[in-house]
Amino acid sequence: MKILSYNVNGIRAALNKGFADWLKATAADVICIQETKALQEQVDTSLLEDLGYHHYWFSAQKKGYSGVAIFSKTAPQNVEYGSGIDHMDFEGRIIRADFEGVSVMSLYLPSGTNMERLGYKFQFMDEFQQYINTLKKTHPKLIICGDYNICHQAIDIHDPVRNKNVSGFLPEERAWLDAFMHSGFIDSFRYLNPEPHQYSWWSYRANARNNNKGWRIDYALVSEALKENIQRSFILPEAKHSDHCPVGVEIHI
């Protein structure tokens, strides 16, 4: 199973930039989308259907904001829209598809753009950890793909010294992500790729992408129960429909 995760920063804008043609070339079995910024009825989904994808959307209540989706070549056995936690679901940040042998989640964790949102980010992280602890009891083979808005280690950011007090690389955020991984998840990319200078997001400012001054904040975290099933993990920086690029993992099911 080839699984991709992509914060598209607006699915309609991405489609206008050739996203459908790119998706066809990837031959992904499942793709987790973040920041759709659209309701399903605002999107020309025939472009996805023509490629053979079933598609499932969970949008924010606020129009043009946040939102997640999952596109899959195989129809899932079950789709769970949201977490059942009201404040998370109001912002459209979690959707899960259950297949035979594995469950795949698309997650869009909040960013801490100001003090109010940073406080909310920590609330979300704490409650998300509790939610996943419970979910793993019934869905032990879980892959959580998405934009976590956190760099885990210094290797995951182009300038760890100057960014040490910036949300996304705060010690408390990094400690949470570290603990989350240690609660039973493998960072599939780092598991197979120890090399530095590999990122998934670049600021639009100061020609950051061309200079590869980026952050690795998008992950495909795989339950430890599936560790031996990880065959390949990768980042696709040549895909340029967004300020993020896709990340992916291939799992033998």
Sign of torsion, CA 226 228 229 232?
positive
Secondary structure of residue 206 in the 3-state scheme: coil
Residue 164 vs residues 177, 181, 204, 212: alpha-carbon distances, Å: 15, 21, 20, 19
User: Which pLDDT band, with edges at 50, 70 and 90, does 230 fall under?
Assistant: very high
- What's the DSSP call for residue 134? H
Q: Report, as an integer, the average pLDDT of 210-224.
A: 98
Region 18-38: mean pLDDT is 97
DSSP annotation string for 52-103: T-EEEEE--SSTTS--EEEEESS--SEEEES-S-HHHHHTT-EEEEEETTEE
pLDDT at 84: 97
pLDDT tens digits for range 5-26: 999 999 999 999 999 999 999 9
Q: Please state the rounded mean pLDDT for residues 220-228.
A: 97
Query: pLDDT class for 73, splitting at 50, 70, 90?
Result: very high
* All residues at 6 or more sequence positions from 174 whose CB lies less than 8 Å from its CB, including other chains: 150, 151, 152, 153
Report the pLDDT value the prediction gives residue 203, as an integer from 0 to 100.
96
Q: Mean pLDDT across the chain, nearest whole number?
A: 97
**Residue 147 among the catalytic residues:** yes
pLDDT in tens, 86-121: 999 999 999 999 999 999 999 999 999 999 999 999
Delimit the domains of the chain by residue range: 2-251
* Residues 128-150, mean pLDDT to the nearest whole number: 98
Say how far apart CA 7 and CA 131 lie, in whole Å: 22
Q: pLDDT tens-digit profile of 161-204?
A: 999 999 999 999 999 999 999 999 999 999 999 999 999 999 99
Q: Give me the percent of the chain exceeding a pLDDT of 70.
A: 100
Give the CATH fold of the 2-251 domain.
Deoxyribonuclease I; Chain A (3.60.10)
Q: How far is CA 230 from the centre of its chain?
A: 17
Contacts of 76 (CB under 8 A, 6+ apart): 54, 56, 70, 97, 98, 99
Nearest CA to 144 among 184, 190, 195, 196?
Answer: 184
**What pLDDT does residue 234 have?**
98
- Once rounded to an integer, what is the mean pLDDT over residues 47-73? 97
In this prediction, residue 223 has a pLDDT band, given cuts at 50, 70 and 90, of very high
Catalytic residue among 98, 147, 156, 187: 147
- pLDDT over 90 for what percent of the chain? 99
